[in-house]
């Protein structure tokens, strides 16, 4: 968009350096990437999950040696971003930087970045930065990553959700999303946000209130951090490196 390459350079450099630091401590070995969104969806649902959500998609990524970090503590004058995908020497990693408590917001970003990696939108040793993920983008790679995310989360790369009837309010939206999600094996939070994107900006206050009802104790950023700690082998990092990773991930200096 209106962001220059230089504005993102510092943020990109910081993120990629953190990824390179944690790679030696990733517990699971790097495995072959899946070939499609439907393959990932099938694997997760076959393990008994009611739908693909942030929790089980993070577990899946770490299980194939694809680390997912949350980094948002950028230096002054650096540009923030929604997400980033990094490829180097046949290794992969994703950074999510958007700060949102509700998992549905970060779920789509994660699925979108996986789409970039699997569809080889990144060079052999390259990084792809999504300053803002635009679900209406006409860029070919962004359209493909959006369709991949939708197929992974819903089973349909072109799924759109719209409300019917009158009397729209947060509670009815949350109840309808949960009922539809249970039936169609789609995260109810995604249904709410998908609907909001179809309806426009005026609908987002209702959607966010519905997310509060669906996930009253939402802490999606901490979920990503906890998965990182669970899957990193601390013994393969120096104390200084480990504490740096904690600080940059928002944990402070305590191990």
Q: What is the pLDDT of residue 253?
A: 39
Neighbours of 75 (CB within 10 A): 8
d(CA 48, CA 57) in angstroms, rounded, equals 13
For residue range 181-190, list pLDDT tens digits in order: 999 999 999 9
Of residues 115, 116, 96, 117, the one with CA closest to residue 54: 96
List per-residue pLDDT tens for the chain, 255 residues long.
Answer: 445 566 678 788 888 999 999 999 997 777 788 999 999 999 999 999 999 999 999 999 999 999 999 998 766 556 678 999 999 988 999 999 999 999 999 999 999 999 999 999 998 889 998 988 888 888 999 999 999 999 999 999 999 998 887 668 999 999 999 999 999 999 999 999 999 999 999 999 999 999 999 999 999 999 999 999 999 999 999 999 999 999 888 875 343
For residue range 73-93, list pLDDT tens digits in order: 766 556 678 999 999 988 999
Residues 221 and 70 sit within 8 Å (Cβ to Cβ): yes
d(CA 215, CA 209) in angstroms, rounded, equals 10
């Amino acid at each position: 968009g209106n962001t220059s390459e230089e504005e993102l350079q510092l943020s990109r450099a910081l993120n990629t350096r953190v990824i390179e630091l944690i790679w030696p401590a990733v517990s699971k070995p790097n495995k072959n990437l899946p070939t499609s969104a439907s393959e990932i969806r099938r694997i997760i649902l076959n393990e008994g999950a009611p739908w693909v959500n942030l929790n089980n998609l993070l577990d899946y990524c770490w299980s194939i040696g694809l680390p997912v970090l949350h980094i948002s503590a950028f230096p002054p004058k650096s540009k923030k971003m929604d997400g980033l995908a990094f490829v180097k020497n046949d290794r992969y990693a994703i950074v999510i930087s958007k700060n949102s408590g509700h998992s549905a917001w970060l779920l789509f970003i994660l699925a979108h970045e996986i789409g970039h990696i699997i569809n080889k939108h990144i060079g052999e040793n390259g990084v792809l930065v999504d300053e803002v993920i635009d679900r209406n983008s006409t860029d070919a790679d962004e359209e493909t990553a959006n369709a991949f995310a939708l197929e992974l989360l819903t089973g349909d790369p072109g799924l759109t959700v719209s409300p019917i009837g009158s009397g729209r309010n947060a509670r009815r939206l949350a109840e309808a999303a949960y009922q539809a999600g249970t039936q169609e094996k789609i995260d109810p939070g995604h249904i709410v946000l998908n609907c909001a994107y179809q309806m426009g900006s005026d609908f987002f206050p209702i959607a966010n209130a519905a997310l509060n009802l669906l996930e009253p104790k939402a802490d999606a950023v901490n979920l990503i951090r906890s998965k990182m700690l669970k899957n990193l082998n601390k013994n393969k990092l120096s104390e200084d490196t480990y504490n740096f990773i904690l600080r940059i991930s928002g944990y402070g200096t305590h191990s």
